[in-house]
Amino acid sequence: MDIFIAIVQILDSTIRLSVPLLLACLAGLFSERAGVFDIGLEGKMLVGAFAGAAAASVMHSALLGLGMAILISVAFAMIHGFASITHRGNQIVSGVAINFIAAGSTIILGQAWFSQGGRTPALQPGERFEGIILPGANAVREVPILGPIYSELLSGHSILVYFAFAMVPFAWWVLFRTRFGLRLRAVGENPAAVDTAGISVAWLRYRALICTGVLTGVAGAYLSMVQNGGFVKDMTAGKGYIALAALIFAKWKPVNAMFACLLFGFLDAAAIRLQGSPLPIVGKVPVQFMQAMPYVLTVILLAGFIGKAIPPRAGGVPYVKER
């Protein structure tokens, strides 16, 4: 029974840890499917986290914080769009720039506004998103097996967790069942064809980037307003890059993205849980090994040893209407 409880706990933290990855991964899905590479997921999450925590603590409202996180994150996505769509700059260079501007400005502004060494003030109850107890969770807690699964694993998460998982089918529906999604995917494969059909490539890509900005904003807000009660400098700590890895691992598909993020979240949760304690068969596994796993797996996938990851064909190429 102890092992069962431990497994439920690891899975519970897997869910919590994979949510920001999932949101960022879906964000990347929209922009990359539209043919815009986005290395700047990390930076957009970071500004989202900062703006969310800062606004929530100043305006004493979690919802206003979330709104501000989305707004600022979308603004950064628009900078990326301005550079890489309007001015046809190098998308990777632009993404790298956004990451630096985000990393520096969140610390500088945080220090200037709150004077707490780059942190924002600790969020009070009501300024952050609390866990939601699903109906009947407390009643079934004593039921063997299913009780803990329902009350520990599924219940008690914040609204943003449920939002993230609801976004998976929604993103699938938008991308594969709507006209907007069809055009968005087309613009990532063959923008000239979309242009010939009389649809603006630039405007379509901008809309894709707005979706990206919204989702990275929510991801950032989750980090600073759910997982942590306030903003801490560099709190994304490479999650944007892991999300990028997950996106490749998922071969640019929403449902796969969820499983990839859950896998990477699980590795993270297991690394935290197993710190120092030996595993059966393999013995003691260094924490760093578990932390490096997502990257190693992605490289192996990219090398074509586990299936083949084929990116959208027009990805990374600015669209030029006439030569």
Per CB under 8 A, residues contacting another protein are 37, 39, 79, 82-84, 87-94, 96-105, 107-109, 111-112, 118, 238, 241, 244-245, 248, 286, 288-289, 291-292, 295-296, 298-299, 302-304, 309, 311, 320
Tokens representing 68 are 């501000």
CB of 87 to another protein, least distance (A): 5
Nearest distance, CB of residue 146 and another protein, angstroms? 38
* Smallest distance, another protein to C-beta of residue 172, A: 24
Between 151 and 212, name the residue whose CB sits nearer to another protein.
212
Q: Which is nearer to another protein, 108 or 279 (CB)?
A: 108
Q: Which is nearer to another protein, 160 or 209 (CB)?
A: 209
129 vs 241, beta carbon nearer another protein: 241
Least Cα distance to 219 among 32, 44, 7, 15 occurs for: 44
Distance, CA of 129 to CA of 65 (rounded, Å): 10
Residue 63: CB minimum distance to another protein, A: 26
| Rounded (5°) CA angle 238-258-80 | 50
Measured CA distances, 183 to 105, 147, 267 (Å) = 35, 45, 36
Question: If residue 171 lies in a helix (H) or strand (E), which one and from where to where?
Answer: helix 159-177
Beta bridge pairs of residue 128: 125
Cα diameter, the chain = 70
- Residues in contact with 322: Cβ distance below 8 Å, sequence separation at least 6, in sequence order: none
Closest contact distance (angstroms) between CB of 124 and another protein is 25
